[in-house]
Amino acid sequence: MSAPATTAAGVKIKRVYDAAQQSDGYRVLIDRVWPRGLSKERANVDEWARELAPSTELRRWFAHEPSRFQEFRARYRAELDRQRGRVQELRRRAEAGPLTILYGARDREHNNAVVLAELLREGSA
């Protein structure tokens, strides 16, 4: 059984390996590489926004080490600041209906989707 998706202000966070649900609304994957062992049909994504994923350098530095998450958050937000137009598009989508940000990481609390969802919920890019 999978953990429930996180939700607030029309933005949900969900692991891409979890089953899609009608309530997910628009599903956008924000990983730079396609999730291992997952078919496109099973992933059921509406959009794969690679450009919103952390840079390869940042992803490798972070290495999903929880002790680095605060610094990862700051660095990733700086990268997202250079993608303001795309972030605004996702914010508009979330305002229009449910938006689910998908990620592949095992850690449900320390990942790029958590950071992007925070940014979208803040209402400013």
DSSP secondary structure code for residue 32 in this structure:
S
pLDDT at 125 over 60: no
Q: Is-contact 54 62, C-beta < 8 A?
A: yes
Residue 9 has pLDDT above 50, yes or no: yes
Q: Which of 2-16, 18-32, 34-48 has the lowest mean pLDDT?
A: 2-16
Residue 104 predicted with pLDDT over 50: yes
Cα gap 72→68, rounded to integer Å: 6
pTM for the model: 0.88
Domain boundaries, the chain: 6-122
In Å, how far are 6, 34, 39, 42, 80 from 114, measured between CA atoms? 9, 18, 24, 22, 13
- For residue 122, the model assigns a pLDDT of 87
What are the φ and ψ backbone dihedral angles of 12, each rounded to 5 degrees?
-115, 155
* Stretch 51-76: mean pLDDT: 96
